[in-house]
Structure 1
Amino acid sequence: MHQKTVNAVIVNAAHDVRCEPRDIEWSDDQVLVRVERGGICGSDIHYFQHGRAGMSVLKEPMVLGHEFVGVIEQAAANSSLKVGQRVAINPSQPCTQCALCQEGKQNLCRSMRFMGSAQFFPHVNGGFAQYVAVNPQQCVPYGEKADAKIIAFAEPLAVCIHAVRQAGALTGKRVLVTGAGPIGCLVIAAALASGATEVVATDISERCRALAEEMGASAAVDPRDEVKTSMWAENGGHFDVCFEASGAAMAVSSLVAFTRPGGIIVQLGMGAPEVNYPIGPLLVKEVQLRGSFRFTSEFTTAVRWLEQGKIDPLPLLSAEMDMHEATHALELASDKERAAKVQLIF
């Protein structure tokens, strides 16, 4: 085993995040990556604000971060990876042995060890550190000409590509995206890249609506504007596919009315634990409700799309800050009126 002391962004409890040294260990079968930068995600913000993300509760200090890229410092034995290669890191570590993994549904693995998650104890440390040890299969190399700040969007984009695939073919479809945060905006871009002809977004934030249009939305509407939204419910519903990316109870329950008979709703926003849902209209319109959680092979697809310029995520990049400013960065990322995506530099 090898050992190294590195600085890392560690959450100890709600509102207690520190940049401090910790020891990491790795074997010859693992890869040591020098982290370049990483994006702050909603789950990082939840750990910072509440000491938990959903049902995952902090029980010990944990390194944050699962959206990060770096350079290989030490390659694994018997792998094709090379020192100096630039890589995006897939934070997923499924067991690979269970029935779900064997079916190609690794994102649903009940034993998934996801980096920067407190779901299990001991917790799985994330990638917000100067160096991190990962498995070779987590590393997706990308070209020298690509910008690290763009490739750092691979993980959230993978979530969105998976959601788009859950909806099936989008060519020629009319699409609604509720919630225009970073995920909603990347869903807009992924839907357009997948052939959707009309993509409309909703958000209560004027700033988020402006970002949605910058990411390609044909219109961005305040969901409280009943004059506009009521038109979407006429003649049984306007949209072929709706992506719910906010998790807000009102947004979740509104989509059945806006979806045409036989249409599809993809739920990827997490938020309200309970929703008063219109089951009757869902049933009589034969609307299909599909969940979307994380990703499988879409991570590599996301790296390639970003590398090729198929999607430009940079309108979402609000700030770049040093790892030692992590608390300030998390506070900024928590304010959707000031920031969409904040990246830390290591």
Structure 2
Amino acid sequence: MLNCTIHGAKDLRLEQQPAEAIGPTQVRVGVKAVGICGSDLHYYRHGRVGDFVIREPLTPGHEASGQVLEVGAAVATVKPGDRVALDPARTCGVCRYCRQGDSNHCEAVHFFGSASRYPHMQGAMREQVVVEARQCVPVPDSLPFELAAFGEPLAVALHAVRSAGSLLGKTAMVVGAGPIGALVLMAARLAGASQVIVVDIVDQTLAACARVGATRTINAAADPGALDALAAGKGSVDVCFEASGSYAGLASCLRAARPRGVVVTVGTLGGSSEHCPFNLIMVKSLSCIGSFRFVDEYAMAVDCLSRGVLDVSALLTAAVPAARVHDAFALAADRRQAMKVMVTF
């Protein structure tokens, strides 16, 4: 089978690899679409994501959908020909975190496309992947594979919004207008936020967020005074979501949040924290919450996509065949041109 493999920084290869065998509880899926996520870009550009360093060839991709090719003898939930979205997390179900309902912190998780463990956990950017049957969530024929693959990032967004508590009638701000930020915006509107302000420094991504429900967009580079206005007094925003992965973004959240407001960190922070006003957490009695991946929101996300509750089609920039995977990664890295790029098989 054709496999997209990252061997190190800027070393992405298309290779033929043997197909895996399947066990009685497993399913072989012909992958149809895989989204390129920010972590995939980091692995490709730098050979690492934070402390997770590529030490052996890594197949990226954790946002995937496809069609069932073969099922194990004990599988009754799906059958060959079914269209499915693929939950990238295979959790153990027995560790202390799984037992207490925090499976996103499973001590033995296998998560698609991650170098956080060695041997690495291989991802879905390949022609076929073998998964446990419980990782397959059926989708209707009416949902294109490229949109079904939004299940994972949408689950991340739904989990972040759920972590914030009730948003009904509240003002929310999302800093970072990339794919996750845009999906957090949509999830916040779905949860009843009366206003969702989106902040970024790229006009093109802000325009995409305006198309999917932002009540206001702010280019922080072009109009820093708009952020100053939100932070005036003691701040005015009920709930802030940091989705840019920058300390400057987190600083904007801490300044804009009202006293006893909520700040949810979704992005993976990088760079220097030197000028981030962490003392505001104490001064304004803020609740600061970290939101990591998702728990049971994956099925909810796929249901929202399948029923058309949320239409993410405006966020799909391009579907690029795997034979042109280098072009796909180059496009995905250009924030002025791309929101979400899918690799297709």
Tell me if both proteins adopt one fold, taking TM over 0.5 as the criterion.
yes
Contact 1:36/1:345 (<8 A) preserved: yes
What is the one-letter code of the residue matched to 2:214? Answer: A
Please name the residue that 1:259 is paired with: 257
- In 1, distance between residues paired with 2:29 and 2:315? 26
CA apart distance, 1:312 = 1.3
Match of 2:266 in 1: 268
Q: 1:37 aligns with which of 33, 37, 57?
A: 33
- What's the secondary structure of 1:301's corresponding residue? helix
Partner of 1:3 in structure 2?
none
Give distance in 2, aligned partners of 1:68 and 1:28.
Answer: 22
Q: 1:21 aligned to 2:16?
A: yes
Q: Match of 1:124?
A: 121
- How many pairs are equivalent? 341
Question: Contact 1:267/1:291 (CA < 8 Å) preserved in 2?
Answer: yes
Structure 2 contact 59–125 (Cα < 8 Å) conserved: yes
Distance 2:107 2:236 in 1: 37
Mark the CA change 1:275 to 1:211 in structure 2 (over 3 Å): closer, same or farther.
same
Could you tell me whether the CA contact under 8 Å between 1:57 and 1:118 is conserved in 2?
yes
Q: CA deviation at 1:96?
A: 1.8
Distance 1:96 1:115 in 2: 17
Counterpart of 1:40, as a letter, is I
CA distance in 1: counterparts of 2:303 and 2:259, whole angstroms: 35
Alpha-carbon separation, structure 2, partners of 1:108 and 1:179: 25
Amino acid at match of 1:19: L
**Shift of residue 332 of structure 1?**
1.0
In the alignment, structure 1 residue 285 sits paired with structure 2 residue 284: yes
SS at match of 2:80: coil
Amino acid at match of 1:312: D
Q: Report the alpha carbon displacement of residue 204 of structure 1 after superposing the two structures with TM.
A: 0.4
Distance 1:42 1:34 in 2: 24
Structure 1 residue 243 displacement after superposition: 0.3
Could you tell me the percent identity over the aligned residues? 38
Unaligned residue ranges in structure 2 (runs of 5+): none
Moved more, 305-314 or 267-276: 267-276
**What 5-or-longer segments of structure 1 have no aligned partner?**
1-5
Equivalent residues of 1:65, 1:116 under 8 A apart: yes
Output the aligned Cα RMSD: 1.2
1:174-211 deviation per Cα after TM superposition (whole angstroms, max 9, x unaligned):
00000000000011111001111100000000111111
Does structure 1 retain, via aligned residues, the 8 Å contact 2:246–2:271?
no
SS, match of residue 197 in structure 2: strand
State the match for 1:178 in structure 2. 175
Paired amino acid for 2:49 = A
User: What CA distance in whole angstroms lies between the structure 2 residues aligned with 1:122 and 1:198?
Assistant: 45
Per-residue displacement from partner, 1:8-65 (whole Å, max 9, x unpaired)?
A: 1111111111111111322232100011111111111111101111211111112111
Provide TM-score, normalisation by structure 1: 0.96
- Residue 273 of structure 1, CA deviation: 5.2
Specify the code of the residue in structure 2 equivalent to 1:251: G
